Structure 1
Amino acid sequence: MKLLQITDIHLTTPGKTIGGRDPNANFTKALAHAIQHHPDAEALIITGDLSDWGEADDYMRLKDQLAAVNIPVHLCIGNHDDRQTFFDVFPENEGADGFAQKVIPLSIGHAILLDTWGPASHAGHFCAMRAAWLTEQLKTLEGPVWIFMHHNPVPIEVAPMDEIMLLDADRFAATVAPYAAKIRHIFHGHCHMHLSGSLHGIPFSAPRGTNHAGWPDFAATKLLSAADLTESYSVIFATKTTTMVHMIEYGYAGDIRGEGSPDYADWDQLTMAR
Structure 2
Amino acid sequence: MGKSADKIRFAAVGDLHVNKDAAGTLRAFFAQAASDVDALLLCGDLTDYGTAEEAKVLVDELALVKVPVVAVLGNHDYESGTPEVVVDALTHAGVKVLDGEAVEIEGVGIAGAKGFAGGFGRGSLGAWGEPAIKMFVQEALNEAMKLESALAKLRTRRKIALLHYSPIAGTVEGEPVDIFPFLGSSRLEEPLLRYPVDAIFHGHAHRGTMEGKTISGVPVYNVAKPLLARSRPNEPPFRLYEIPRQ
Indicate whether the TM-score tops 0.5: yes
Task: Please tell me the residue identity of whatever aligns with 2:9.
Answer: K
Of 48, 58, 62, which residue of structure 2 is paired with 1:52? 48
Distance change (3 Å), C-alpha of 1:236 and 1:68: same
User: Which residue of structure 1 lines up, in the alignment, with residue 132 of structure 2?
Assistant: none
- Residue 207 of structure 1 and its aligned partner are, at CA, apart by 2.9
* Residue in 2 that maps onto 1:236: 241
Partner residue, 1:165: 183
For the residues of structure 2 that align with 1:87 and 1:81, how far apart are their CA atoms?
9
Using the aligned pairs only, state the percent identity.
21
SS of residue matched to 2:198: strand
2:90 match? 90
Distance 1:49 1:137, change over 3 A: closer
Larger radius of gyration between Structure 1 and Structure 2? 1
Aligned to 1:61: 57
Greater displacement, 42-51 / 190-199? 190-199
1:29-88 CA-to-partner distances (Å, cap 9, x unmatched) read: 3213223xx2x3111011111111212111011112323321111221111112233234
- What are the equivalent positions in structure 2 for 1:64-83 lying under 5 Å apart? 64-82=60-78, 83=83
For 1:190, the aligned partner's letter is H
Q: Which has the higher contact order (CA 8 A, sep 6+)?
A: 2
| Counterpart-to-counterpart distance in 1, 2:218 and 2:18 | 31
Partner amino acid, structure 1, of 2:75? N
Residue identity in the other structure for 1:10? H
**SS in structure 2 of the partner of residue 80 of structure 1:** helix
| Kept after mapping to 1: 8 A contact 2:213/2:220 | yes
Q: In the alignment, which residue of structure 1 is the partner of 2:5? A: none
**For the residues of structure 2 that align with 1:178 and 1:72, how far apart are their CA atoms?**
28
Pick from 184, 205, 226 the counterpart of residue 191 of structure 1: 205
| CA deviation map 1:104-140 (0-9, x unaligned) | 212243011212268xxxx999644443343334334
Greater Cα offset, 154-163 or 143-152: 154-163
How many residues end up aligned between the 2 structures? 206
Contact in 2 for aligned 1:77/1:117 (Cα 8 Å): no
In 1: Cα distance, 2:19 partner to 2:191 partner: 35
More helix by share: 2
1:203 aligned onto 2:219:
yes
Matched ranges for 1:204-219 at <5 A: 204-209=220-225, 212-213=226-227
Are the equivalent residues in 2 in contact too, given 1:94–1:100 (CA < 8 A)?
Answer: no
Distance 1:74 1:203, change over 3 A: same
CA contact (8 A) 1:191 1:214 kept: no
Taking a change above 3 Å as real, the CA distance of residues 213 and 146 of structure 1, as seen in their structure-2 partners, is closer
1:149 aligns with 2:163: yes
Distance 1:163 1:208, change over 3 A: same
Structure 1 stretch 64-73 or stretch 42-51: which is displaced more? 64-73
In 2, Cα distance between equivalents of 1:102 and 1:65: 25
Match of 2:12 in 1: 5
TM-score by length of 1: 0.64
**Post-superposition offset of 1:25:** 5.4
Question: In 1, Cα distance between the equivalents of 2:201 and 2:71?
Answer: 13
> Aligned pair in 2 of structure 1 residues 132, 213: CA closer, same or farther (>3 Å)?
closer
Q: Which runs of 5+ in 2 are unaligned?
A: 1-7, 118-135
Partners of 1:184 and 1:13 lie apart in 2 by 36
Q: CA RMSD in A?
A: 3.2
Contact 2:160 2:199 in 1 (8 A): yes
Code of the aligned partner of 2:12: Q
Q: How is 1:99-118 mapped onto 2 (pairs within 5 angstroms)?
A: 100-116=99-115
Length-normalised TM-score, structure 2:
0.70
CA distance in 2, matches of 1:13, 1:44: 22
Give, in whole Å, the separation in 1 of the partners of 2:144 and 2:222: 22
